[in-house]
């Protein structure tokens, strides 16, 4: 096994995955791959608008054509092409992606699941105010339903560590807990 490290992040929208990814990139200098970003690249190749519904359909189309782990395969190809040593892969939504990433012998892999109640995620989405974020609690629940169909619950079940990002934890505490996990796991 290599000294290269890969942290995969899975969980529903606005659960805190991005905060953990930002820590690895900004504080530790890791490389970043977004599986959603890979789907966006495919949308551009297909000349399709990069709207959430279109991206879900493209991701599902890729999985139907090339198997459930296709986005993990695309991420791994990118890691090799760019010679990434330590990398965070964000936005894992299908267990097939986890299986592909775990089977890369030149990386030590840690899959982190981050979860929070829909109401908490809705509040945090409003606070971070990204253009692509849901604007109603009902919208969050609709996205959750689509993510469940893709396989996100299976991802959370097979994650190495599950972090429950409840309403009483600050982003600073979330990162502090994450740092402790990384140290405990040798990352």
Return the pLDDT at 132: 67
* Residue 136 placed within a domain: yes
pLDDT reported for residue 60: 92
CA atoms within 13 A on the CB side of 86: 13
Domain-located, residue 161: yes
Dihedral over alpha carbons 1, 92, 78, 110 (to 10 degrees) = -20
Residues of the chain with pLDDT under 50: none
What is the reported pTM? 0.92
CB 98 within 8 A of CB 155: yes
Q: Does residue 185 fall inside a structural domain?
A: no
How many structural domains does the chain have?
1
Angle between helices 35-45 and 52-66 (to 10 degrees): 90
Residue 186 resides in a domain: no
CA distances from 178 to 17, 81, 137 (A): 11, 28, 27
Note whether residue 160 is domain-resident.
yes
Is 149 a domain residue? yes
C-beta separation of 87 from 32 below 8 A: yes
Looking at residue 19, which CATH number applies to its domain? 3.40.50.300
Which residues form the domain of 137? 5-180
DSSP reduced 3-state for 182: helix
Instruction: Kindly state whether residue 44 falls inside one of the protein's structural domains.
Output: yes
pLDDT tens profile 44-92? 999 999 888 899 899 999 999 999 999 999 999 999 999 999 999 999 9
The b-or-e profile of 62-90 (16+ CB within 10 A means b, else e) is bbeeeebbbbbbbbbebbeeeebbbbbbb
Q: Is residue 187 part of a domain?
A: no
């Amino acid at each position: 096994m290599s000294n290269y490290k890969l942290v995969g992040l899975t969980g529903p929208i606005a659960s805190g995955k991005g905060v953990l990814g930002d820590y690895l990139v900004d504080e530790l200098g890791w490389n970043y791959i977004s599986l959603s970003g890979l789907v966006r690249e495919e949308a551009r190749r297909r000349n399709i608008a990069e709207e959430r519904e279109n991206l879900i359909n493209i991701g599902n189309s890729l999985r139907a054509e090339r198997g459930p782990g296709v986005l993990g395969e695309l991420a791994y190809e990118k890691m090799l092409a760019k010679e990434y040593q330590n990398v965070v892969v964000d936005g894992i939504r299908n267990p097939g992606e986890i299986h592909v990433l775990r089977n890369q012998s030149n990386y030590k892999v840690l899959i982190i699941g981050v979860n929070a109640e829909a109401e908490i995620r809705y509040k945090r989405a409003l606070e971070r105010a990204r253009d692509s974020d849901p604007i109603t609690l009902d919208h969050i629940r609709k996205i959750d339903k689509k993510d469940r169909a893709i396989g996100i619950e299976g991802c959370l079940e097979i994650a190495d560590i599950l972090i429950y990002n409840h309403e009483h934890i600050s982003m600073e505490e979330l990162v502090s807990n994450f740092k402790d996990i990384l140290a405990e796991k040798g990352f």
